Structure formats: structure tokens, C-alpha cells
Chains A and B, each alone.
Chain A
Amino acid sequence: MSDTNQQEQQLIEWLADMNEDEAFALAKKMLLEEGIDPLRVMDLCRRAMDIVGKRFEEGEYFLPELVLAGEMLENISAIAKPLIKQAPGEAPKKLGKVLIGTVHGDLHDIGKNIVSFMLDINGFEVKDIGVDAPVQTFIDEINAWQPDVVGLSGFLTLAFDSMKETIAAFDQAGMRAKFKVMIGGGQIDEQVRNYTGADAFGVNAVEAVKLCKNWMGAAA
């Protein structure tokens, strides 16, 4: 990357190569000792995350790298954020709002938690309403929060019915056109998507992020 100097390139490499300790120490030094623009550092982190995401899609990396890289990003932004000079009252711009929950009858939360985490570090505002979420809870939360995307998670085959029921209730409540619905978890495929009436399905957290970015018109 021609627009990065050697130190910046080093940070990107260490982050992308999962050299966690070195990457964190360097980022900290750049931010706290060298006074480098925190937005610049965060931009380097995002570039590294893009590389990690690409390696994940190419089968070189797996979920642990994805999550550990996400944690590095979180740790660095925890230092960077207070240093960002913000105009008063100006909130950092988010890509969009995603409401997510595991449908009723299903208590699985691992996949949902990873998707929430990945959406969050990719710039989405995420509201997680937990597991075994009744249809009415989804509707109440949607009315109150007005998300752009609603994610329904479920691991059991039983969850297919709950998803179908939940999405049908969105229809009946006259709110279905106001947001996109994505489903994920377990054995979900195109047949299940069709059965439930969701707009799209994803088989992993990277796909969930891509779906949301596409819907929000952001570059994936």
C-alpha cells in the first residue's frame, strides 16, 4: 500500500498475521507516545480486518482468527476513541441498525453472539434481544428501535417454524417492508430461507456483515 509508511505497514501486517502482543504494543505507542491521529490508526486497523476477512473467506483463517482480530480492534479502539476530537453533539456515524435475537423455542446463543460482535466492530449499531425471544418481543423492540435489519438466529430445526411465525407476524403487523430480515444458524440454507420468508440467510458472521453492508449500500 503506497499511502502507508513503514510503521503503518508493520501495524497492518502484525494485526493481519495475528501477532497480537506486538500489534497492540505498536498501536498503543503510535497513539499515546507519538500522537498519531487516532482516526488514522483506526483506518489501519480496518484495513487489517479486511485482510483477515479475506483470509477467512479463502480458508486460510478460521473463526478464532476472526474473533481474536476483532478483539484486537476493540482493544485498540478503546485507547483511540477517547483521543478522537469530536465536534460537540456529533455522534460517530454508524452504517445502520441491526436488531438480532434467537427465536422462541431455541436457546442457542454462540452464533448470534459472534454475529453481533462482528457487526459491531464493522460499524453497525447492534441491539441483541437475547435467546428464546417471543414474537411479541421482536415486534415491540422493532417498534421502539426502528432497525434497518432484523437478524433471526436459531440452531434447532424447531427454529425454522419459529422464524416463519415471527416473520409472518411482522407481515401482520404491517412492518415487514420497513427492514430487511436475515436468518442464520444451524442447518439453514436456501430451502429454509424460502420456508421462513426471510430476505436472505448467511452461513457465517462474515456473510452476515456482507448482507448488512449490501443492504445499507456500503461497500462490502
Chain B
Amino acid sequence: MNPAQDFAIKIIGERINPGFKSTRALFDNQDLAGIQALAIKQAEAGARYQNVNIGAQALTDPQWMARVIEAIQEVVTTPLSFDFPSKAVQEICLSCYDPAKANGELPIVNSITEHRWDLMELYGRFKFKVIMMASERVENGKALGNKTAEQIYSTARRAALRLKNDYGMPLDDIFIDMSVSAIIADTEGLNRSTVEAIQAIGADPELKGVHMMGGLSNIGQQLPPKAADGSDLKHCLENAFLTLTVPHGFDYVLGTPWRGYAPLPEDHHVLKTYRNFLEQSGSNALRAVRKFYKA
């Protein structure tokens, strides 16, 4: 039973990442058996993909990274997603990935942006799916951060159609990373822009088939564990975001497969507060954030 089934979403398992304290110990001790056990746990919990993030070790010890990938593929058939924005690192990952061990499924390169398009030079020599970050664009040769829904949407559209038309990549192989940012410091309406961009992408007939995904662990970063009504604040915030975006086509979460996501009822404190927060900007947004945890 996949605990994520309460929503029409699939999970890219995020746990193989030294950013998690428990995983960090596995990496520090080069505990391959422990990493394999973690991969099995994610697979059993229904992960559709497993993201592999080695942290800074990808640069200092690429051979170790290759051993990690091979070890994971020895024990699970879940296809993998490689999380490092460097062509040299991706090349090593793609070389040691064996599609045959994943029922022929392609891996995912996580991630490209308009600014880091060089990873696409690997396409052809390797076959892969791709996570494309819609949070930045290139304008007159310069990389700029996207802040508005229109900027995020047009970057996503431009990049997805470029992948389709110039590389022959099926839209079904494209995952647009919608960058769900921490609400705690969101005075610029970034959450609002992301939600509106998802609506726009979902409504664009030419983009039918692309996936929209994102990590949700940022959204509740640095917030207290409990909401004012006693509910688990971070988890409820993630569910609040999904409640608003899954109906518009947000269909993949880079997350913990056993976390379990479920829609919130309309009158839930966290959903109501999130809706209110989405309408605020500047320091009023911070005051709206305080309402999540201040009675």
C-alpha cells in the first residue's frame, strides 16, 4: 500500500542524501549495506524513483559515488535520479547506471536550467529523463532568478518545448521542478508565484504530458513543529501546498516515500492560513506566517 495514494502523486525518494542526519552517518562511515537497506525501504514504501545525492563527496570522491550507485542497483529495481548540477559528475553517474537493472527504465538527470544547459550535451550518448528547474532563466546571456508566475511559466514552457523540439525528448520524460520555497522568509510572494505558475502550466495544451514536481521539505523549514491548532505544522503545510496544486497537474514529489500525503479539508487551520499567507507580501507575509504557530 502506497501511503502517497491519497493524492494522485508519485514519489521520488529523497532519503539518499547526506542532508538527512541518519543518512549522513551512512555516508560518513561508507556504510554501503546501510545505504542499500535505505534504498530497499524507499522501494518498499512505493518510491517511483530514487534520488541519489552524495553532497560534496561527489566532487572529492567520485569513485565512492559510483560504488553507491552500483550498490543501490544491486538491491532495487527503482530507476534513479542523479542529483548534482555538474556535467562531469552526471557523466560518471550515467555511465555506471544500468537500465537493465531497472526494468529498462531511464534514469533522471537532476537538474538542468537554462543557465546550466551543458548537461544536455550528454543526451544522445546517454538516454535519460530530465528535471528542469523553472526557478531561473537566461536573458541576454545572463542568469536571472524567476520571481513571478509569468517568468516561471514562460521559462518552463520555453525549456520544455526546446527539449521536445531540439532533442526529440518526449514531454513525458520532462519533470519541471517548481521550486517550492520556504514560507518563513517569503516576503516576495514566491509561493504565490509557484502556485500560479503550476496553474498556468497545467492549463497549457502544448505542455500536456510534462510532469511538475518539487521537493516539499523547504516549505516548512525553520518553523516550529506544531501549528497553533496542535497539528504537525510542516507536514500539514506540505499537504496544504499539494491540496492547491495537485488538481492542476503537480504530480511528483521529491520526498520521503513513507511520509504519506493527504488532502486537507477546506476548514483546516493550516490550509486556511496558507491561503491567507498566499495573498500577502512584504512584512505582512511574515505576520501571516506567525499565524501558523501563534494562537
Please list the residues of chain A having a beta carbon within 8 angstroms of any beta carbon in chain B: 18, 59, 62-65, 67-68, 71, 105, 107-111, 114, 131-132, 156-158, 160-161, 187, 191-192, 195, 204
Please tell me if the beta carbons of B289 and A108 are within 8 angstroms of each other in the complex: no
Please tell me if the beta carbons of A195 and B184 are within 8 angstroms of each other in the complex: no
Please tell me if the beta carbons of B56 and A71 are within 8 angstroms of each other in the complex: no
A-contact bits for B58-87, CB 8 A (1 contact / 0 none) = 111000000000000000000000011110
Cα–Cα distance between A161 and B286 once the two chains are bound (Å): 33
7 CB-based A-B contacts, threshold 8 Å = A63-B185, A63-B286, A64-B289, A64-B290, A110-B186, A157-B55, A161-B59
Q: Whose C-beta in chain A lies nearest to the C-beta of B188?
A: A110
Q: Which of B56, B185, B222 meets A157, CB within 8 Å?
A: B56
Residues of chain B lying within 8 A (CB to CB) of residue A105: 116
Cα–Cα distance between A160 and B84 once the two chains are bound (Å): 12
Please tell me if the beta carbons of B224 and A62 are within 8 angstroms of each other in the complex: yes
Known: A67-B286, A157-B85, A158-B85. A62 touches B222 (CB 8 A): yes
Residues of chain B lying within 8 A (CB to CB) of residue A131: 145
Q: Does B50 contact A (CB under 8 A)?
A: no
Known: A107-B143, A157-B55, A187-B55. A67 touches B85 (CB 8 A): no
Cα–Cα distance between A62 and B143 once the two chains are bound (Å): 32
Known: A108-B145, A160-B56. A62 touches B184 (CB 8 A): yes
10 nearest CB pairs, A to B? A64-B286, A107-B145, A158-B85, A63-B184, A64-B289, A187-B19, A110-B185, A64-B290, A107-B136, A160-B56
Q: Which of B19, B59, B181, B185 meets A67, CB within 8 Å?
A: B185
Residues of chain A lying within 8 A (CB to CB) of residue B59: 160-161, 195
How many interface residues does chain B have, given as a range? 20 to 34
Cα–Cα distance between A36 and B289 once the two chains are bound (Å): 35
Q: Does B223 contact A (CB under 8 A)?
A: yes
Please tell me if the beta carbons of A110 and B181 are within 8 angstroms of each other in the complex: yes
Q: Which of B257-295 contact A (CB under 8 A)?
A: 283, 286-287, 289-290, 293
Residues of chain B lying within 8 A (CB to CB) of residue A108: 145
Q: Which of B53, B135, B223, B287 meets A68, CB within 8 Å?
A: B287
Residues of chain B lying within 8 A (CB to CB) of residue A59: 224
Cα–Cα distance between A43 and B164 once the two chains are bound (Å): 61
Residues of chain B lying within 8 A (CB to CB) of residue A160: 56, 59
Q: Does B37 contact A (CB under 8 A)?
A: no
Other A-B pairs beyond A157-B56, A157-B84, 14, CB < 8 Å: A63-B222, A64-B289, A67-B286, A68-B286, A68-B287, A68-B290, A105-B116, A107-B136, A108-B145, A110-B185, A110-B186, A132-B143, A158-B86, A187-B18
Residues of chain B lying within 8 A (CB to CB) of residue A158: 84-86
A-contact bits for B176-190, CB 8 A (1 contact / 0 none) = 000001101110000
Q: Which of B7-50 contact A (CB under 8 A)?
A: 18-19
Q: Whose C-beta in chain A lies nearest to the C-beta of B57?
A: A191
Q: Shortest distance in angstroms between B134's beta carbon and chain A's nearest beta carbon?
A: 13
Residues of chain A lying within 8 A (CB to CB) of residue B58: 157
Residues of chain B lying within 8 A (CB to CB) of residue A111: 185
Q: Whose C-beta in chain A lies nearest to the C-beta of B54?
A: A157
Please tell me if the beta carbons of B56 and A114 are within 8 angstroms of each other in the complex: no
Please tell me if the beta carbons of A191 and B56 are within 8 angstroms of each other in the complex: yes
Q: Does B144 contact A (CB under 8 A)?
A: yes
Cα–Cα distance between A64 and B143 once the two chains are bound (Å): 29
Q: Whose C-beta in chain A lies nearest to the C-beta of B293?
A: A62
Q: Shortest distance in angstroms between B242's beta carbon and chain A's nearest beta carbon?
A: 23
Cα–Cα distance between A68 and B182 once the two chains are bound (Å): 17
Residues of chain B lying within 8 A (CB to CB) of residue A62: 184, 222-224, 293
Please tell me if the beta carbons of B283 and A68 are within 8 angstroms of each other in the complex: yes
Cα–Cα distance between A65 and B224 once the two chains are bound (Å): 12
Q: Which of B157-212 contact A (CB under 8 A)?
A: 181-182, 184-186
Q: Shortest distance in angstroms between B149's beta carbon and chain A's nearest beta carbon?
A: 17
Known: A156-B85, A158-B85. A114 touches B185 (CB 8 A): yes
Cα–Cα distance between A157 and B83 once the two chains are bound (Å): 9
Residues of chain A lying within 8 A (CB to CB) of residue B289: 64
Q: Whose C-beta in chain A lies nearest to the C-beta of B28?
A: A191
Cα–Cα distance between A107 and B145 once the two chains are bound (Å): 6
Cα–Cα distance between A191 and B86 once the two chains are bound (Å): 20
Q: Shortest distance in angstroms between B50's beta carbon and chain A's nearest beta carbon?
A: 18
Residues of chain B lying within 8 A (CB to CB) of residue A67: 185, 283, 286
Cα–Cα distance between A157 and B290 once the two chains are bound (Å): 30
Please tell me if the beta carbons of B145 and A109 are within 8 angstroms of each other in the complex: yes
Cα–Cα distance between A131 and B287 once the two chains are bound (Å): 27
A-contact bits for B119-158, CB 8 A (1 contact / 0 none) = 0000000000000000110000001110000000000000
